[in-house]
Amino acid sequence: MLPTATIGPYTLPNSLIVAPMAGVTDRPFRLLCRRMGAGLAVSEMVIADSKLWHTRKSRTRMNHDGEPEPRSVQIAGGDPDMLANAARLNAESGAQIIDINMGCPAKKVCNKAAGSALMKDEALVRDILEAVVASVDIPVTLKMRTGWDRDHRNAPLIARMAEDAGIKALAVHGRTRADAYKGEAEYDTIAAVKEQVSIPVFANGDICSAEKAHQVLRHTGADGLLIGRGAQGRPWIFREIQHFLETGEHLAEPPVEEVEAILLEHLDALHDFYGMPMGVRIARKHVGWYLQSHDEDKLFRKRFNAIDDPLEQAESIQQYFASIRNGEVFAA
> What distance in Å separates the CA atoms of residue 285 and residue 187, rounded to the nearest whole number?
30
Angle value at C-alpha 1, between 34 and 102, nearest 5 degrees? 55
Element at 17 (helix H, strand E): strand 16-18
108 or 75, which is more confident: 75
Q: What is the pLDDT of residues 11-29, one digit of tens each?
A: 999 999 999 998 899 999 9
Instruction: Report the amino acid identity of residue 276.
Output: M
pLDDT score for 332: 41
> What distance in Å separates the CA atoms of residue 265 and residue 288, rounded to the nearest whole number?
16
Give exposure, 253-283, as e/b (b: 16+ Cβ within 10 Å): ebebeebbebbeebbbbbbebbeeeebbebb
Q: What is the pTM of this model?
A: 0.91
pLDDT band at 305 (very low <50, low <70, confident <90, very high): very high
**Rounded average pLDDT over 245-269:** 95
Task: Tell me 52's DSSP state.
Answer: G
DSSP states of 291-323 as a string? HTTT-TT-HHHHHHTT---HHHHHHHHHHHHHH
Residue 139 and residue 170 in contact, taking contact as beta carbons nearer than 8 Å: no
> What distance in Å separates the CA atoms of residue 312 and residue 110, rounded to the nearest whole number?
39
**Rounded average pLDDT over 113-128:** 80
CB atoms within 10 A of CB 152: 14
> What distance in Å separates the CA atoms of residue 208 and residue 192, rounded to the nearest whole number?
22
**Rounded average pLDDT over 49-70:** 75
pLDDT score for 240: 97
Give exposure, 72-82, as e/b (b: 16+ Cβ within 10 Å): bbbbbbbbbeb
Nearest one of 255, 268, 256 to 315, comparing CA atoms: 268
For residue 250, the Cα-to-chain-centroid distance in whole angstroms is 24
**Rounded average pLDDT over 143-147:** 94
**Rounded average pLDDT over 286-293:** 90
Nearest one of 281, 269, 327, 332 to 67, comparing CA atoms: 269
> What distance in Å separates the CA atoms of residue 85 and residue 90, rounded to the nearest whole number?
9
> What distance in Å separates the CA atoms of residue 251 and residue 248, rounded to the nearest whole number?
10
pLDDT band at 228 (very low <50, low <70, confident <90, very high): very high
Residue partners of 261: CB distance under 8 A and separation at least 6 = none
> Does pLDDT of 329 surpass 70?
no
169 or 4, which is more confident: 169
Asked if the peptide bond before residue 28 counts as cis, ω within 30 degrees of 0, the response is no
The pLDDT > 70 percentage for the chain reads: 91
> Does pLDDT of 90 surpass 60?
yes
**Rounded average pLDDT over 189-200:** 97
* pLDDT, mean over the chain: 90
pLDDT band at 54 (very low <50, low <70, confident <90, very high): low
Respond yes or no: is residue 104 known to be catalytic.
yes
Residue partners of 246: CB distance under 8 A and separation at least 6 = 1, 2
> Does pLDDT of 111 surpass 70?
no
Catalytic residue among 33, 104, 110, 208: 104
pLDDT score for 136: 98
Nearest one of 134, 136, 114 to 125, comparing CA atoms: 114
296 burial level (CB within 10 Å; 0-12, 13-18, 19+): exposed
> Does pLDDT of 330 surpass 60?
no
Question: Phi and psi dihedrals of 208, rounded to 5?
Answer: -125, 10
Give the three-class secondary structure for 269: helix
> Does pLDDT of 100 surpass 80?
yes
pLDDT band at 2 (very low <50, low <70, confident <90, very high): confident
